[in-house]
Each structure stands twice: as C-alpha cells, then as structure tokens.
Amino acid sequence: DGGITQSPKYLFRKEGQNVTLSCEQNLNHDAMYWYRQDPGQGLRLIYYSQIVNDFQKGDIAEGYSVSREKKESFPLTVTSAQKNPTAFYLCASSEPGQGSYEQYFGPGTRLTVT
C-alpha cells in the first residue's frame, strides 16, 4: 500500500526542547516537502528537497532543520529557536517531471509546545 506516513500523530513538548518529526514515503518520489498549517490559514512551505542529500529553504525555514540522507525519509527538526512551534505539520512528496506536479500528503503531526 503506497503512501506517506508521519509519526507520531500528536506530539507534546516543553518549550526549549528540540523535537524531530518523522516522514517516510514508499512512492519512490524524488521530491519531498514540509509544510506548516496554522488555524484558518493555508499551508506554508518550510523546507523542500528535490533529491537525496540536497534541500532548500522554503518561505518560513527559520527555527527548523531537515536532512535527506535516504530517498524515502525526510525528517524535520523543530528547534528551540522556533518562536511559535505549535502547529499542524504536513509532509508531502512528488515526482517532478511526470507532467502533473501534484503533491501527495501524509496525515500530519500536530505539535503542541507548552
């Protein structure tokens, strides 16, 4: 069953702690993305990666870091430098070059920092 998995579904952390969100895909897609969603707002791009061992900052990268050591995995670390980390985080993947450009989304992780 192909798709994107994100774990955990809910995550709670204390302020000042780093936390890593998992994203795994078995779609064999080259490109992967991390988005942040706040209540009543659309999605904002944090980081994206078009290929293994390469990634670029999106629109709101400050306070976040990523790695792309394997094609199927793109973990996101929310650092203590992120001023307002409580949000819903969505991971996505796509296969650029197939002509349709849609992205496939995981179920999301809701992070609460207190």
Partner 1 sequence: AQSVTQLDSHVSVSEGTPVLLRCNYSSSYSPSLFWYVQHPNKGLQLLLKYTSAATLVKGINGFEAEFKKSETSFHLTKPSAHMSDAAEYFCVVSDIREAAGNKLTFGGGTRVLVKP
Binding residues for partner 1 (CB under 8 A) = 4, 6, 31, 33, 40-45, 48, 50, 56, 58, 88, 90, 92, 94, 96, 99-108, 110
Pick 19 or 32: Cβ nearer partner 1: 32
Question: Considering the complex, what minimum distance in angstroms separates the CB of residue 50 from partner 1?
Answer: 5
Amino acid in position 13: R
CB of 88 to partner 1, least distance (A): 8
Tokens standing for residue 70: 């394997």
Q: Kind of pairing, strands 31-37 and 10-13?
A: unpaired
- Least Å distance between CB 13 and partner 1? 19
Residue 33's nearest CA partner among 53, 13, 52, 47 is 47
Cα three-residue angle 95-86-75, rounded to 5 degrees: 35
Nearer to partner 1, 19 or 33 (CB): 33
